[in-house]
Amino acid sequence: GPGGGCSPEHRRFFDPEFFSIVLFDQRGAGASTPVGEALNNTTSHLIADIELLRKYLEVERWLIFGGSWGSTLGLAYGQAHPERCAAFVLRGIFLGQQSEIDWFLYGLRTIFPEAWHRFASMLPPAERKDLLKGYLKRLFDSDARIYLPFARAWSEYEGSCSTLLPNPELVRHFADEALGLARMEAHYFAHQCFLAPNQLLNNIYRIRHLPASIVQARYDMVCPIVNADQLARAWPTASYAIVPDAGHSVWEPSVSTIMVAEIERMKLHLAG
């Protein structure tokens, strides 16, 4: 995401005999309604929603688990409420920096030129120097005949770049969540994810004392490994596992395997 919803499959990373598993769809995403709504939808709103959910469920402290935008939001929430966090397991690190947004919009062309040209060619040539502006205009158009094709194009672009080897099934999954995913990503990208420059790295001191696992695929092109490297260097006490043979998706087999192993390791730490 931002904009991607949860699925029951996300529970598979956790031992249900040990963990109470809480999955939630953020504003505008997944099963939350209205889908793709940008009004009152900022990182601060999402942090407040997580806190509201924690209080409602009467959870004193919890393990924060998130990948891609989930790693961004997990860090932002943890830094706002460190006393409510027991540990972190973060994957496919995205720090909300402008350089990362620019990479998604333009840099991926160097690795996935076919997917990028399909993405960019939705706009007339004169608008392709500012893809975000062009897509925002159309994604938030009132006419479904306009916004739906652009939402699918955005989502299929991301899905096409999310695995080491082509995975049409994953691309179809991205297309199924197209409207929420595309609108929310474009909205958040247009506002630099509602974060100050380098905010998450600058504030890592607030959670540095807490146990953490960072999992990053070597060939993650959506959220390149340089982001995870920055986080690991700022958080040297965190475990840092590099998956040698996978792309961005958590459903890459080797990523899933290491995620389960890291959560099991964290389980032993929390149980002890």
Query: Quick one: pLDDT at residue 76?
Result: 99
Query: Quick one: pLDDT at residue 90?
Result: 99
Q: Nearest 5°: CA angle at 67, between 164 and 165?
A: 10
Exactly one of 25, 68, 187, 213 is catalytic; name it.
68
Query: Quick one: pLDDT at residue 38?
Result: 97
Residue 2 lies in a domain: no
With 0.85 as the threshold, say if the pTM is over it. yes
Verify whether residue 248 is a known catalytic residue: yes
- What tokens does 227 get? 């982001």
CB 109 within 8 A of CB 102: no
Residue 186 and residue 199 share a domain: no
Query: Quick one: pLDDT at residue 180?
Result: 94
| Cβ neighbourhood burial of 55 (10 Å; 0-12, 13-18, 19+) | exposed
Residue 244 lies in a domain: yes
Residue 125 and residue 253 share a domain: no
Query: Quick one: pLDDT at residue 239?
Result: 98
Residue 232 and residue 166 share a domain: no
> CB under 8 Å, gap of 24 or more: what pairs does 202-205 form?
203/79, 204/75, 204/79, 204/231, 204/234, 204/235
- Say if residue 2 is preceded by a cis peptide, omega within 30 of 0: yes
Query: Quick one: pLDDT at residue 136?
Result: 98
Residue 253 and residue 221 share a domain: yes
Residue 58 and residue 31 share a domain: yes
Question: Alpha carbon 167 to chain centroid distance?
Answer: 19
- Looking at the structure of the chain, the number of domains it has is 2
Kindly report the CATH number assigned to the domain that includes residue 219.
Answer: 3.40.50.1820
Per-residue pLDDT 10s for the chain (272 aa) are 688 889 899 999 999 999 999 999 999 999 999 999 999 999 999 999 999 999 999 999 999 999 999 999 999 999 999 999 999 999 999 999 999 999 999 999 999 999 999 999 999 999 999 999 999 999 999 999 999 999 999 999 999 999 999 998 888 888 778 999 999 999 999 999 999 999 999 999 999 999 999 999 999 999 999 999 999 999 999 999 999 999 999 999 999 999 999 999 999 999 97
Residues 6+ apart with CB under 8 A from 140: 38, 147, 183
Residue 186 and residue 202 share a domain: no
Exactly one of 71, 155, 213, 248 is catalytic; name it.
248
Residue 199 lies in a domain: yes
Helix count (H) and strand count (E) of the chain? 11, 4
Paired with 89 in beta bridges are 65, 213
What sign for the dihedral angle of Cα 75, 157, 146, 98? positive
Residue 149 and residue 15 share a domain: no
Beta strands 212-217; 239-243: pairing state: parallel
Residue 105 lies in a domain: yes
Exactly one of 25, 71, 213, 220 is catalytic; name it.
220
Residue 116 and residue 89 share a domain: no
Other beta carbons within 10 angstroms of residue 2's beta carbon come to 27
Residue 82 and residue 125 share a domain: no
Residue 89 and residue 204 share a domain: yes
Residue 219 and residue 206 share a domain: yes
Residue 183's domain comprises 100-192
Verify whether residue 49 is a known catalytic residue: no
| Cβ neighbourhood burial of 179 (10 Å; 0-12, 13-18, 19+) | buried
User: Which of 192, 221, 250 is the last residue before a domain boundary?
Assistant: 192
Q: Give residue 181's identity as a one-letter amino acid code.
A: L
Query: Quick one: pLDDT at residue 266?
Result: 96
Residue 145 lies in a domain: yes
| Cβ neighbourhood burial of 243 (10 Å; 0-12, 13-18, 19+) | buried
Verify whether residue 220 is a known catalytic residue: yes
Residue 161 and residue 52 share a domain: no
